[in-house]
Amino acid sequence: MKLNFLLKNKILAYSLLSLFAILCCSFDAYAQKAAVKGVITDQFGTPLPGVSVLEKGTTNGTTTDFDGVYAISVSDQKAFLTFSYIGYATKEVQVNNQTNINVALEEEVGQLDEIVLVGYGSVKKSDVTGSVSSVSAEELTKTQSTSIAQAIQGRAPGVSVTKSSGQPGSTPTVRIRGVGTVNNADPLYIVDGVPVNDITNVNMDDAETVQVLKDASATAIYGSRGANGVVLITTKVGSKNISTISYKTYTGIENRIDNLDVMNAEQWATLYNEGKVNDGATPEAAFADPSSLESYNWKDAVYRTGTIVSHQLSLSGGGEKTSYYVSFGKLKQKGIVSNTSFDRTNFRVNSTYQIKPQIRVGQNIQYSKSSSNAVASFGGNSNNKTAFIGFVVDPVSPIYNTDGSPARPLYSTEIRNPVGLTLYEQTPLTKESFLGNVFVEADLMKGLKFKSNYGLEVNNRKMDNFQSEYFISAEQNRPENIYSLLRSENRVSVWSNTLSYNTTIKEKHSISALLGHETQQLDFNNVLASRSAIPEGIENPTLGSGAIDSSTNNGTISSSSLLSYFGRLNYNYDDRYLFTGTYRIDGSSRFGDNNRFAQFPSLALAWNIHNEKFYNIDVINQFKFRVGWGETGNQNIPNSAIFSTLSTSENYLLGNDETTVVGLAPLSPGNPDLKWETTTTSNVGLDLGLLHNALTFTADYFIKTTSNMLLESPILQTSGYQSPPTINAGEIENKGLEFSLNYKKRMNDFFFSVGGNIAFIDNTVLSLATKGSVISTGATGNGYTGISRTEAGRPIASFYGLEAIGIFQNQDEIDNNASLNGNKPGDVRYKDLNEDGSINDDDRTFIGSPLPDFTYGINLDMTYKQFDMTMFFQGVQGNKIFNATSYLLDGKLDSNLNTEYLGRWTGEGTTNSIPRATFDGFANNSKQSSRFVEDGSYLRLKNVQIGYNFSKDVLSKTFISKARIYVAGQNLFTITDYSGLDPELGVDETQNDGSRTSLDIGIDRGRYPSTRSFSLGLDINF
């Protein structure tokens, strides 16, 4: 017992002694260090959050919180602290026995040392040699767009962003420096080093920066994927020694932008009977007194006030060795058309950890799930566009039957009831997306770093759609219940390894080098199946509920891979002369052994003239000249293009009993000699900073030429093949000028900035497969075909048709000029181009281009004390729109008409632009012609936001460190001469024309229009 007591006391004694020793060591270590704290503000006393505070010559550092407060322990009293913040001049202060150091940073409006992302790395903005545009997180969040692609609209010169549809969840069309190919012209999106297929899955509130790489000297590092430009997106990370909880929310309402006026019952019935009289037919007796007719408001039958609600909760922070960012986002949007919606949930976790001083690991992981519901918008016929057809149903027909069911239009018999489409023609779709990467970085020696990054994107789409039988009319019905199923998976994995080296020799020679290796695997599979004749009364119908003999199914499996080697060298001499060279070798499984690998080099030079000793222009404090050249590639072809393929969908009847057996038939001839499509870009640029960078100016001139285009070559029908082969042929050139100008100024409590950008781009097809070759695209369900025509010497996808030159005013004009059979005074007159005395297809010509002469954006930001306001305008000029909706609205008398048609021809000299009211002459007057080509130019106030930031004094008594409330409006007004629903038209997503879908530009078939929205929002930090 005594022994146990002694042992216990010895253990206790040793424990106390050890604890005392640890405490002594701790106090000794603490005594050797110096604790410093303080507040960092701007020159006007406003606290600055996120300022980097670093002990000079070490990796010991922290950042200020949202009140500008920091705390740090430094090695000794002689240490220097460096305070740096983007947009402000860096300051150094020696500790020198101070325990409280407050610093006021002075603003540098030019932000020349901002870090800019380039491929597989980053550089200071002042060291950029290529053409790169940046969009900050602050600019993104002020737009309240639901996707990053839409948010950069008008923010970067040379980057065209147009809505493909106002349908919630739709993907906008993005083009960087024009349309450079007849194939897929979408840019490459890179999120945290991972290429992504669907940018709509990325939550905009998670984005920290967006960089747009435009010229080949910047994009060549991505080789075969960089021909259409590259959009680099980095997501947010936490700050050292600061934990922040942030909550953002907004809610709003959306309404249709109504630019289209149609006739009431009296107006329409009057013209209907006028057309009957003009054709020598008996007028409609029911319209004898048009003023007594009841008008039915079809155009609003399927429209409603839409709503949008967004929530974003995030937690970020870190310690000396760690950082983290966790976010949860929820977006819920109810469309302005009944039964259209989009819901999205996002969850993201980003973190880094320093295992050892030389080794860091990290990951960025996002899970996204979205569900959307769309209504019918299929085919090229405006009659099938739910968002549009309410405008063209005759206004004398009741919308509903007496039992409340959708009614058949009485006179517009070809047109479906839009209410019926919203009820019976819905398409639900669920998408799940995983996007993530893990990486490790190691400092092998001073200046030498190794990084390995593995990324994965998985997109799954799922549709389970039960559609019940219904009958509205012979033109609009479903005779049997039907169940459709879709399952698809798109998987992209990429593994990149890079070795980078940075050094400075004799303080003037800065060298940065990068070597890399990358593999990429792309896998896709899908199954689509359906069955009909599903019995009534089944509570949860499935594919197995339908009749076996009604089965239809289809499926695809494809896989491809890329193997790449790349390198980059940056050289900077004395901040005066800059050089960047990149070289990439790509190998693709889509090409044969003889052309599998391709090389993509680039060179760029820059001269900081303002750093020369002879330079003495005080007013221009930055003067940089840039020049670059490079090549990029495109491999967007089917995986099987090099192989001759067979179709297994050919059934044959064999034997006396005519047994059905599966047969094979030639599908497409292969081309083993296919090689890479190549885009070569030359760029000359100028960057100026004036008035101490309060005024900045950037200009670029570029020539971008795509050669060896991957084209489908026409073949004879007698060849036996169903599809044409892919060949290398054709050349397209885009050349243009880009300008951006920004001015910022602070006057005591008032700060404002105004900026603008503009881009002029000229597009020309230099050649196609053979001399005289054409690519015809763009069709509508009313007989128009080949609306767009691509051929050498013209802009891509130019409109093609007859040239309308007025209205025949009398019979003499008809008798003495080329005319169509049956023409009468008041009919459209077309130009006889070949002067053969008749009007036919040989008189067709180019009647306009959908490509604008220039695009532009204007941005205004102002702050006064706690108030802030931003306004953003965006516009295009000089583009044409083929308004296919005018086929119905401008003369088809059994559908409703645009009120402009009230100014129709009624006698000689009354008008020379709007034809007479006629049924019989409608076919002649509605020929595919310049009559339906309109000016698509517009200027739109895209966004206005007014906010109030609660003062620190108000928040000091709460646990809230920052709070801002704001009101916002989008698409508040549009200045345009276009007569359709919406002049903003991207690629029509409803047109499935294979590789030619990207050429379906500027054709308005009656799409889901853009919306005008008003919202109220709140941002809070805890």
Contacts of 981 (CB under 8 A, 6+ apart): 257, 259, 260, 387, 388, 391, 885, 1004, 1006, 1007, 1009
- In 3-state terms the chain splits into helix, strand, coil percentages (rounded to 5) of 15, 50, 35
Instruction: Check if the beta carbon of residue 427 is closer than 8 Å to that of residue 463.
Output: yes
Q: Which residue has the tokens 């409109």?
A: 799
Tell me the Cα Rg of the chain: 33
**pTM metric for this prediction:** 0.86
Q: Encode pLDDT of 663-689 as tens digits.
A: 777 888 888 889 989 999 999 999 999
Q: Encode pLDDT of 853-872 as tens digits.
A: 999 999 999 999 889 999 99
Q: Encode pLDDT of 579-625 as tens digits.
A: 999 999 999 999 999 999 999 999 999 999 999 999 999 899 899 99
Q: Encode pLDDT of 127-161 as tens digits.
A: 778 888 888 777 777 777 888 888 888 888 888 88
Instruction: Check if the beta carbon of residue 175 is closer than 8 Å to that of residue 153.
Output: no
Asked if pLDDT for residue 419 goes beyond 70, the answer is yes
Residues 743-748, mean pLDDT to the nearest whole number: 88
Residue 760 CA to residue 157 CA, distance in Å, equals 9
Q: From the DSSP assignment, how many helices (H) and strands (E) are in the chain? A: 11, 54
Helix (H, G, I), strand (E, B) or coil at 619: coil
Pure H helices in 877-1012: 886-889, 922-925, 952-955
Q: Would you place residue 59 in the very low, low, confident or very high pLDDT band (cuts 50, 70, 90)?
A: low
Q: Encode pLDDT of 293-315 as tens digits.
A: 999 999 899 999 999 999 999 99
**Residue 1014 tokens, joined:** 């008003």
Residue 963 CA to residue 732 CA, distance in Å, equals 51
Beta bridge partners of 568: 514, 582
Q: What pLDDT does 114 receive?
A: 63
Q: From 223, 192, 209, 75, select the one nearest 602 (Cα to Cα).
A: 223
Q: Encode pLDDT of 785-841 as tens digits.
A: 889 999 999 999 999 999 999 999 999 999 999 999 999 999 999 999 999 999 999
Q: Encode pLDDT of 16-40 as tens digits.
A: 433 333 333 333 333 446 788 888 8
Q: What pLDDT does 395 receive?
A: 96
Q: Which residue has the tokens 């819905």?
A: 426
DSSP state letter for 390: T
Residues 55-61, mean pLDDT to the nearest whole number: 77
Contacts of 625 (CB under 8 A, 6+ apart): 606, 607, 609, 685, 686
Mean confidence (pLDDT) of the chain = 87
Q: What pLDDT does 382 receive?
A: 67
Q: Which residue has the tokens 């070289």?
A: 583
Phi, psi angle pair for 530, to nearest 5°: -155, 155
Half-sphere exposure of 840 (CA within 13 A, CB side): 6
**Residue 682 tokens, joined:** 């030359």
Residues 709-718, mean pLDDT to the nearest whole number: 75
Asked if pLDDT for residue 5 goes beyond 70, the answer is no
Q: Encode pLDDT of 47-56 as tens digits.
A: 787 788 888 8
Residues 324-340, mean pLDDT to the nearest whole number: 94
Q: What pLDDT does 1020 receive?
A: 92
- Dihedral Cα 77, 78, 79, 82, nearest 10 deg: 110
Q: Encode pLDDT of 92-137 as tens digits.
A: 898 888 888 999 887 664 444 566 767 787 777 667 788 888 887 7
User: In terms of C-beta density within 10 A (0-12 exposed, 13-18 middle, 19 or more buried), how is residue 495 classed?
Assistant: middle
